[in-house]
Amino acid sequence: MTERPEVASCSAVDPDGVPRAPETLLVQRYDRPAPRYTSYPPVPCWGPVGPHAHAEALDGLTREPAPLGLYVHLPFCGERCWYCGCNVVIAPDRTVADDTIDAIEEEARVVSARLAPRPVASLHLGGGTPNFLAGPQLRRLFAALRGAFEFTAQTRVDVELDPRTLEPETIEVLASLGARRVSFGVQDLDPAVGAAIGRVMDGERVSECIRAARRAGIQGVNLDLMYGLPRQTPESVRRTLRTLLRERPDRFAVYGYAHVPDMRPQQRRLEPHGLPGAAARAELFHVVKETLVDAGYLPVGLDHFVVPSDDMARAVATRTLHRTFQGYTTHAATDLLGLGPSAISRLTLASGDRAGGVAYMQNAPADKVYRRHLAGGRLATERGFVAAPSDVARGCLIEDIMCHMAARVPEGWSGFEGEREALRPFEEDGLVMIEADRLEVTETGRFFVRQVARTFDRHTRPLVDRPEAAA
């Protein structure tokens, strides 16, 4: 049996006599790499899958007019931020994107030809930097999507934006195309942190972008922040938050930096600046949480904070919050179609011998390979997984834990005896409360919710100490 580090060896106060956050005291025991559970099984467990399996899964979807979600991955950026973990293409100018837009248009045509008519509930543009595209390119992309799929007045359009390069007319174009929520990638405003991660962000610039979005009629504003970066201190993080709070954004998404230099070699450029250890990361997150909760924001799931009037707060209250490859979402689409290089589809199989299962299908991540497949009129699928109904049920339980910090289990934990046993230390440390048919994650346990969810994961357990398992 592996010996666990003793929590009692941690001091409850730091060397300056300031009380430490409860999360900081427990990280030695629980902070291990774990999936973010945007799917179950998580991406590292998937294997090679080709276009034929993808086409078969599309043919097995419901013939009902059930809502559909669309995700379009636009991988282009003008330059690479050193901390970046995304699939990006560094492009010298915008014309580089033209061929990929052609390929996305072809993919939309090939995919939609296999579907029954269904309304699009949501469209999310991610990247990369969607505002790398010029106005005419965005219009062409939307025209292609509207030509292939059934958009309605209720279709919700969300777009990720980089405030450093956002042009005023781009926000106007996006608003005219139906964008109602934007997500600005801020990460941190401290100049020393910005210099260490290759992304210097100006607070006044972010404020201007938020105001421009609201003037254009885009009411939902999310800011993406990151903790665990070199040179971040509790005080620098508080300063960043105080500046951003002046504009009262609707949501903050606060992600932990994942250092995986074997997969993303440019991340090595952060190392000379020193990366905070697990306890320091927990302390930084605690500062974020304390500051935002004091400012009236509600914690949602693992890493979101929202104003009480936000859709996401309502989704928590009505237990309609979901978790997809875009993170937490209020959109309840039966199937999610991913278009573009590296994009992932989640397809609920309604017919055929795999009915009741879910197929995950991921496109080739390399832009050139993706375009080559589509130029030949075929889907660009490279990896995936077809989850059996038993996996789907387990995935729902894990999604409940990740979204609602609680889940129902069969009475007496029947069939989950191993999981019950694995959760005993979490219970003893006050991270979960366990009843005869229910599990609840406590407020202290929220920081460790991925580890709680992992106890129900049949696929990942042997992989959790591999860095890619953190994806």
Q: Which spans in 12-134 are helix H?
A: 22-30, 51-59, 97-112
88 touches ligand SF4 by CB under 6 A: yes
327 touches ligand SF4 by CB under 6 A: no
Scanning 78-86, 166-174, 252-260, 436-444 for contacts with ligand SF4 by CB under 6 A, the matching segment is 78-86
Backbone angles phi, psi at 397, to 5 degrees: -65, -45
471 touches ligand SF4 by CB under 6 A: no
Radius of gyration of the chain from Cα atoms? Answer: 22
Candidate residues 10, 53, 55, 86; the one interacting with ligand SF4 per rule CB under 6 A? 86
The candidate with the shortest Cα–Cα distance to 368, out of 85, 55, 53, 103, is 103
129 touches ligand SF4 by CB under 6 A: yes
Instruction: Confirm if 283 and 298 have CB atoms less than 8 A apart.
Output: no
Distance CA 279, CA 26 (A): 8
Taking the CA atoms of 430, 433, 434 and 438 in sequence, report the sign of the dihedral they define.
negative
Quote the least distance from Cβ 375 to ligand SF4, whole Å. Answer: 25
301 touches ligand SF4 by CB under 6 A: no
CA angle 263, 269, 270 (to 5 degrees): 95
Candidate residues 33, 42, 185, 445; the one interacting with ligand SF4 per rule CB under 6 A? 185
Residue whose CB is less far from ligand SF4, 47 or 265: 265
CA angle 262, 263, 269 (to 5 degrees): 65
200 touches ligand SF4 by CB under 6 A: no
Structure tokens at 245: 């709070």
Candidate residues 23, 106, 162, 399; the one interacting with ligand SF4 per rule CB under 6 A? 162
Task: Give the count of residues interacting with ligand SF4 (CB under 6 A).
Answer: 11
84 touches ligand SF4 by CB under 6 A: yes
Candidate residues 33, 42, 69, 128; the one interacting with ligand SF4 per rule CB under 6 A? 128
Site string for ligand SF4, 164-183 (x = CB under 6 A): --------------------
Tokens 């289990």 belong to residue: 409
Residue whose CB is less far from ligand SF4, 291 or 342: 342
| DSSP per-residue letters across 410-436 | -GGGTT-HHHHHHTHHHHHTTSEEEET
Scanning 107-115, 126-134, 384-392, 453-461 for contacts with ligand SF4 by CB under 6 A, the matching segment is 126-134
Q: Give me the residues that bind ligand SF4 (CB under 6 A), please.
A: 77, 80-81, 84, 86, 88, 127-129, 162, 185
